């Protein structure tokens, strides 16, 4: 059995879909469905069971799973709202819960691949996996960084795979439930679909209108990477960036969307950035992919933005 926490969420559901595509259906989804519309993400997927996150944590504490054969734990469950300021809630979800899973997995030699975040870099302009570059701007980024540091301190006690993946800007199908936290690819697609016009922020941080740059990675690449690392023939210990290694502008997303949607490009509506956002806005990100690419046997060739946006539009038109 493979456990996917956050399995009804955006990245988690795509991991389950990728597992199904490989023939694996012995999957336990763990999630919180208080936001019931997330069920849409998994209604077409084959799984062995579903557990509410709170029930799952209680069962972990009671050692309910000790007799079960678990091939891997892919931990995507977290509060990913960067505007959430309840630090106690964030730390319980993203730090304490992840520690519980880490100790459970490592104590039973179960490969453990978990979602970290590029939010750990925050105000930095250097995105190499090094403590000097870790400058989170919100409690979400801090919660992810704190666990990264915790697991690094405990690697010498672990003989099984423990891998943290610092996701950059992930986009793709099965994220319609995320609302304002959905990717810019998703939000711009809806804007064009509904109004014919895309809206982007005016220039900031020395970048022109809509020219702010991010490293955008398609969720299919993220899903397959999780699965590959969990099944790596040699135990892995590491925290790795997950992006394309190439930054692209928001203007480029809009151009790619019009092309993929077979629509003639329209002028972009550039709007002022909210005053409270400017101090915390990342105008540029680009993953340093050197460390990940050094993993033996890994052939990681992510889609370009144009390829990924085309795949995204195709999936949306198929109802995903």
The residues with which 165 forms a beta bridge, in sequence order, are: 115, 240
Q: Is residue 106 within 8 Å of residue 160, measured between CB atoms? A: yes
With beta carbons less than 8 A apart as the criterion, state whether 230 and 294 touch: no
165-195: b or e for each residue (b if 16 or more CB lie within 10 Å)? bbbbbbbbbbbbbbeeebbbbbbbbebbeee
Q: Which two tokens stand for residue 27?
A: 């999957």
Catalytic residues: 140, 178
Helix/strand/coil (H/E/C) assignment for every residue in the chain? CEEEECCCCHHHHHHHHHHHHCCCCCEEEEECCCCHHHHHHCCCCCCCEEEEHHHHHHHHHCCCCCCCCCCEEEECCCCCCCCCCCHHHHHHHHHHHHHHHHHHHHHCCCCEEEEEEHHHCCCCCCCCCCHHHCCCCCHHHHHHHHHHHHHHHHHHHCCCCEEEEEECEEECCCCHHHHHHCCHHHHHHHHHHHHCCCEEECCECCECCCCCEECEEEHHHHHHHHHHHHCCCCCCEEEEEECCCCCEEHHHHHHHHHHHCCCCCCCCEEECCCHHHHCCCCCECCCCCHHHHCCCCCCCCCCCHHHHHHHHHHHHHCCC
Q: How far apart are CA 95 and CA 139, in angstroms?
A: 11
């Amino acid at each position: 059995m493979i456990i996917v926490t956050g399995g009804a969420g955006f990245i988690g559901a795509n991991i389950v879909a990728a597992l199904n595509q490989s023939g694996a259906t012995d999957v336990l989804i763990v999630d919180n469905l208080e936001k019931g519309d997330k069920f849409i993400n998994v209604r077409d997927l084959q799984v062995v069971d579903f557990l509410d996150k709170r029930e799952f944590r209680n069962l972990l504490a009671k050692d309910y799973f000790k007799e079960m054969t678990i091939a891997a734990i892919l931990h995507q469950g977290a509060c990913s709202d960067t505007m959430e300021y309840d630090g106690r809630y964030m730390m319980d979800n993203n730090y304490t819960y992840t520690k519980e899973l880490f100790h459970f997995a490592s104590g039973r030699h179960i490969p453990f691949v978990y979602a970290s975040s590029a939010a750990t870099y925050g105000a930095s302009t250097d995105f190499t996996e090094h403590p000097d570059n870790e400058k989170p701007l919100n409690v979400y980024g801090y919660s992810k960084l704190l666990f990264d540091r915790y697991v690094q301190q405990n690697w010498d006690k672990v003989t099984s795979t423990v891998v943290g993946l610092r996701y950059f800007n992930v986009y793709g199908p099965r994220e319609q439930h995320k609302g304002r936290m959905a990717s810019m690819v998703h939000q711009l697609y809806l804007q064009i679909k509904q109004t014919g016009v895309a809206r982007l922020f005016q220039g900031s941080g020395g970048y022109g209108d809509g020219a702010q740059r991010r490293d955008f990675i398609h969720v299919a690449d993220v899903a397959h990477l999780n699965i590959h690392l969990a099944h790596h023939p040699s135990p892995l210990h590491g925290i790795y960036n997950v992006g394309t290694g190439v930054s692209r502008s928001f203007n480029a997303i809009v151009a790619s969307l019009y092309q993929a949607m077979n629509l003639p490009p329209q002028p972009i509506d550039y709007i002022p950035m909210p005053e409270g956002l400017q101090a915390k806005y990342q105008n540029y990100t680009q993953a340093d992919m050197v460390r990940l690419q050094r993993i033996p046997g890994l052939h990681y060739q992510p889609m370009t933005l144009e390829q990924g946006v085309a795949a995204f539009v195709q999936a949306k038109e198929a109802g995903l």
